[in-house]
Chains A and B, each alone.
Chain A
Amino acid sequence: MGFGPEEAMYVLVRVDKGYPTSDVQQSLRERVPEVDVLTRDEFARKARTYWTIKTGAGGAILTAAVLGFLIGLVVVSQTIYANTMENIEEYATLKALGASQGFVARIVLTQALICGAVGSILGLLAVVPSIGYAKSLIPWIYTPWWLLLVMVVPSLAMCSLASIASVRSALTVEPGRVFRA
């Protein structure tokens, strides 16, 4: 093509209408076998794979996400546990009054999910402007709207997971303590 390896990294080939891309790709591969000839989709996939796996970026983002999940798990777990222990007498009263184990567990789990829903809303309120700002600096950042909603699911799962210790405490409280002043 007349370029040395030090002179160009990419060459963009536009295919006129009416010519199949795959035919042009095949033809170029035969003429310059030492060069990778990729369609737009193949190039995009290759670039994504490179940045996600071959550089540290993907690993760093994944690590940050896992750390965020674990830290969130601990914080939410502590918060819900403290709230449950603060109200343990009320759980004992509920059990004395005939509340089933399922009823008690549902109360704690509902509190955890409310915590998760409120946290998700507050988080989204903070994240949406941040994405806007990042896009103003790096226009090709791609964040589909559904991604924000999908992130609520692991948040709620995290809160449910975080409520396990609290559910256990509420379920094992002795109803007989209602008569202790």
Chain B
Amino acid sequence: MPNHFLGVEGASVSFGKREAQVRALRGVSQFFERGTLSLVMGPSGSGKTTLLSLLGCLLSPDEGTVFIEGVAVNGLSEAERTTIRQKKISFVFQAFRLFHSLSAIDNVALGFELRDAALPGRMEMARDLLVRFGLGGKLDQEPNDLSPGEKQRVAIARALAGNPPILLADEPTASLDAQAGRNICQILRSQVDDDGRTVVVVTHDPRWREFADRTITLCDGQVEQEEKNL
């Protein structure tokens, strides 16, 4: 019996209609064990991001089931799916998606606020997270004043605010140089080793392989290959 902590079973997703229809996923079944770092690789258009959107409760499959922490989330309302994202899932994006009018610390504090508006001491916790990622001297800087590597570390700190058990990353190192990219790989790996988080990374970047527990390769909306790394 598969571990249904996080995953999809028989998931199919199509976009467009009639002749313009694109089948992004074709009956994909994949489960991600708690406390692992998994890579999802494959060429552009293979369905990687669609799979990540399903796992992130951002999209519903046309067919099949999505499991978050062992619970099937297909039939949930939009408000219930929002609550699941709020409590259990965090995202890291290729383009960072920080709020440019907010300082680094305010971006991270917002992450805490979104997860629990009544949580006291948000600024202190945001400061601690940024210090942990080596950004103690950049707390009050706005994203436009930070390097790409620093922006991504702020984005990861925001994602970790509120301690969500699942972290989904879409090409998190694609905009970074080699050193900054390796640093991000190490940070996300430490989330698995130190905090038992479940991390799924969609990437084209082969550097990730040495940090991942396993790699799933998609092609034309289907799983082409699955391999253990560590």
Contact = CB atoms under 8 A, between A and B. Distances in A.
Report if A and B associate in a common complex. Answer: yes
Interface of A: 89-90, 93-101, 103, 174-176, 178-179, 181
Contacts, number: 55
Contacts of B49: 179
Nearest to B56: A96
A101 B79 contact: yes
Interface stretch (B89-97, B134-142, B187-195, B203-211): B89-97
A61 to B, nearest CB: 41
A98 B90 CA distance: 9
Interface string B59-100: 100000000000000000001001101110111011101010
B53 interface: yes
A98 B53 contact: no
B97 A98 contact: no
A176 B87 contact: no
B182 interface: no
Nearest to A103: B114
A98 B87 contact: yes
Q: Which of A89, A99, A175 has the most CB of B within 10 A?
A: A175
Contact of B86 (A93, A98, A174, A178): A98
B82 A179 contact: no
Contact of A97 (B59, B83, B85, B170): B85
B115 interface: yes
Interface in B99-129: 99, 111, 114-115, 117
Interface string B13-56: 00000000000000000000000000000000000010011001
A95 B89 CA distance: 12
B161 to A, nearest CB: 9
B85 A98 contact: yes
A26 to B, nearest CB: 68
B146 interface: no
Contacts of B115: 98
B58 interface: yes
Given A96-B85, A98-B115, A101-B79, A181 B53 contact: no
Interface in B181-230: none
A178 B57 CA distance: 12
A178 B94 contact: no
Contacts of B90: 97
Nearest to B161: A97
Given A98-B89, A98-B115, 17 more contacts: A90-B97, A94-B114, A96-B56, A96-B58, A97-B111, A97-B114, A98-B85, A99-B82, A99-B86, A100-B79, A100-B82, A174-B58, A175-B85, A178-B58, A178-B93, A179-B49, A179-B53
